[in-house]
């Protein structure tokens, strides 16, 4: 299959395989072809497009700047192709298109099933598959690469390759054991965490959350940073006095009604954030992903008016 500018989808698969496998030899083994076949296809692509994809240094290949751009495009294109092929297989078996929703560490288990049930009663023509914090890649990248169709995430999303569907406004709050020496404060500042063990759900600081907006501006960080990928685990660890945390209010407020846990605002003005459903910017308006994201935004708007 030839794409624009003489690109062959086979070459895109080869580029991704080389990137993942780390060498031509291992890429050829993974694809079940010869190393010379890969070299031939790459040289032919460079000839047709009149651009150099790889720098050759001895026996090693290094992507050029345009080669890096092509690799990223290949991941996106192949992710879409794989997704469509999977949906076609489901259609042949009598199923509707699958919309894959990634939720990261916040599993959305307190409200997402209610939305899914409501959509189901409206005769939806697609199936929704939920992927939670078992994801081992950043959510926005997963959307762009086609691994998932919708990312439900908070904080700032500044990427032209995706489109944001606003869901609801929220705030970040401190989570403390009820007997903690800071539990009596009206609000907490970053410096209050200086002597604390901090429990975080993310292994990577996320844009728009506490690391960027709370700790770094104050140049104050907790003395110890312990990471875990499960919000329920964090809540129980806080309750047992093993540390403190900062979480989104909607995710932790149900647990705060159980004795042993208190929530405190961050700074005197609070630390607001928003949650959104993120889809690929190039999605068709009638695609399953856009329909689900739009219905989810409308569902939240109705819920807040009720």
Domain-located, residue 192: yes
**pLDDT at 109 (0 to 100):** 62
- Helix or strand (DSSP H, E) at 211: none
pLDDT < 70: residue spans in the chain = 1-6, 58-59, 87, 89-97, 104-110, 120-125, 132-137, 202-205, 229, 306
Same domain, 150 and 224: no
Residue ranges making up the domain that contains 230: 168-273
- Tell me which residue has tokens 């240094």: 57
What's 27's domain CATH number?
1.10.10.10
**What is the structure's pLDDT at 104?**
66
In a domain, 191, yes or no: yes
| Whether 93 and 190 share a structural domain | no
- Report pLDDT digits (tens) over 135-165: 445 788 889 888 889 999 888 788 899 999 9
Contacts 24+ apart (CB under 8 A), 113-116: 115/295, 115/296, 115/299
222 within domain boundaries: yes
Same domain, 187 and 241: yes
- Whole-number pLDDT of residue 154: 84
Do 148 and 194 belong to one domain? no
Residue 119 maps to which CATH number? 3.40.190.10
Alpha helices in the chain (DSSP H): 9-21, 24-31, 35-49, 65-92, 112-121, 139-144, 210, 216-218, 231-239, 249-256, 288-305
User: Which of 76, 110, 140 is the last residue before a domain boundary?
Assistant: 76
Same domain for 159 and 285? yes
Indicate whether 81 belongs to any domain.
no
- Rg of the chain over CA atoms, in angstroms? 23
Predicted confidence at residue 176, as pLDDT, reads 96
Number of structural domains in the chain: 3
Whether residue 283 is found in the same domain as residue 257:
no
Q: pLDDT at position 269, please?
A: 92
Q: 209 with 273: CB under 8 angstroms?
A: yes
Mean per-residue pLDDT of the chain: 83
* Sign, CA torsion 193/198/202/204: positive
In a shared domain, residues 13 and 54:
yes
Both 178 and 161 in a single domain?
no
Residue 151 has φ and ψ, to the nearest 5°, of: -115, 125
| Co-location of 27 and 144 in the same domain | no
Burial annotation 253-274 (CB, 10 A radius, 16+ → b, else e): eebbeeeebbbbbbeeeebebb
CA–CA distance, 219 with 233 (Å, rounded to integer): 28
Residue 154 lies in a domain: yes
Q: Are 261 and 176 in contact (CB under 8 A)?
A: yes
């Amino acid at each position: 299959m030839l794409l624009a500018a003489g690109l062959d989808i086979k070459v895109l698969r080869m580029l991704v395989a080389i990137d993942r496998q780390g060498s031509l030899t291992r890429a050829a083994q993974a694809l079940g072809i010869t190393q010379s076949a890969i070299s031939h296809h790459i040289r032919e692509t460079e000839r047709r497009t009149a651009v150099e994809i790889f720098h050759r240094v001895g026996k090693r290949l290094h992507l050029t700047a345009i080669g890096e751009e092509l690799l990223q495009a290949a991941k996106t294109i192949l992710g879409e192709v794989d997704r469509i092929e999977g949906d076609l297989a489901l259609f042949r078996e009598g199923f509707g298109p699958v919309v894959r929703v990634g939720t990261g560490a916040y599993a959305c288990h307190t409200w997402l099933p209610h939305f899914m049930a409501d959509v189901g009663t409206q005769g939806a023509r697609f199936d929704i598959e939920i992927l939670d914090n078992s994801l081992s890649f950043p959510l926005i990248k997963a959307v762009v690469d086609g691994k998932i169709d919708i990312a439900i995430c908070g904080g700032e999303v500044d990427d032209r390759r995706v489109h944001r569907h606003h869901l609801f406004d929220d705030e970040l709050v401190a989570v403390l054991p009820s007997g903690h020496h800071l539990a009596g404060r009206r609000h907490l500042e970053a410096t209050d965490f200086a002597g604390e063990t901090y429990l975080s759900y993310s292994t990577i600081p996320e844009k728009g959350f506490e690391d960027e907006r709370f700790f770094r501006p104050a140049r104050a960080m907790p003395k110890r940073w312990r990471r875990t990928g499960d919000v329920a685990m964090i809540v129980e660890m806080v309750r047992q006095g093993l540390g403190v945390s900062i979480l989104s209010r909607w995710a932790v407020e149900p647990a705060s009604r159980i004795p042993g846990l208190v929530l405190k605002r961050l700074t005197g003005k609070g630390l607001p954030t928003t949650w959104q459903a993120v889809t690929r910017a190039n999605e068709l308006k009638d695609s399953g992903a856009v329909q689900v994201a739009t219905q989810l935004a409308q569902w939240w708007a109705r819920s807040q008016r009720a």
